[in-house]
Amino acid sequence: MGRKIALWLLWAGFVTYILLLAPPIEQDGQKLAQLAQELATGAWAGLNPIILVLFNLVGIVLLTYSCLLFIDGRMQRVPVWPFVVASVATGVIGLLPYLALRETNQEFSGPKDILLNILDSRWAGMILSLSTVGLLIYGLAAGDWGDFVYQFQTSRFVHGMSLAFCLLCLLFPTLLGDDMARRKLNKPQVFWFVALVPLLGPLAYLCLRPPLPESTTALS
């Protein structure tokens, strides 16, 4: 119960902060709309590479979550897919309610379907890891940090996206313990490595975790 209350308070606090306390939207509202449209449609020429990389890393983190979420959702009363869809548009705002509503469950029943086989594959982790390394190299080499700091301080969109990315990285352990238990991976050192190394720790876990055991018995 304490975990659920803490997650709901975090969700309410984040939404309140973004709406009321985050840096104001630029005076030119068209500039903000144009930035969001360019990021969403792939018209990336002229954008600060750091903002571009951050936008793509949010997507990678959500895919990393999905590699645990759909497996976890198999055993939950609350369906996971509406929250995953909501997170595509709103990031951590759409995902946090699921983390608060779900129950701790360390079991998995039934066969894995095509989607779960893909998400459970180490190849998924490797592809996400290689994409992340490429993005980080590009952002560090070509990014304008001065411009990013300015936009973080003045743009609600960039400010909120940056904080959402940080929250997504920090909240990954809320799913990690149950996923490890389903795989009979009783290694506390693995949990703490993944939990304490944001972004790269979860990706390493996806690449190295043992396959999820499954049964041939269909769910009732």
Q: What is the pLDDT of residues 162-183, one digit of tens each?
A: 999 999 999 999 999 999 999 9
Contact 93, 160 (CB under 8 A): no
Could you give the CA distance from residue 76 to residue 54 in angstroms, rounded to a whole number? 31
Percent above pLDDT 90 for the chain: 74
Q: What is the DSSP letter of 24?
A: P
Could you give the CA distance from residue 119 to residue 70 in angstroms, rounded to a whole number? 8
Model confidence at 152, pLDDT cuts 50, 70, 90, reads very high
Say what the pTM is: 0.90
Mean pLDDT of 93-121: 93
Residues 6+ apart with CB under 8 A from 91: 58, 62, 161, 164, 165, 168
Model confidence at 110, pLDDT cuts 50, 70, 90, reads confident
Chain centroid, CA 153 distance in Å: 23
E strands, 114-154, are none
Range name among 31-35, 37-41, 190-194 with the lowest pLDDT average? 31-35
Indicate if the pLDDT at residue 15 is higher than 80. Answer: yes
Q: Which residues of 2-39 are buried (b: 16+ CB within 10 A; e: fewer)?
A: eeeeebeebbeebeeebeeebeeebeeeeebeebeebb
Mean pLDDT of 25-44: 63
Could you give the CA distance from residue 43 to residue 140 in angstroms, rounded to a whole number? 21
Q: Is residue 105 within a helix (H) or strand (E), and if so which, with residue range?
A: none
Mean pLDDT of 183-208: 96
Model confidence at 21, pLDDT cuts 50, 70, 90, reads confident
Q: Supply φ then ψ for residue 155, to 5 degrees.
A: -110, 120
Q: Which residue has the higher pLDDT, 36 or 89?
A: 89
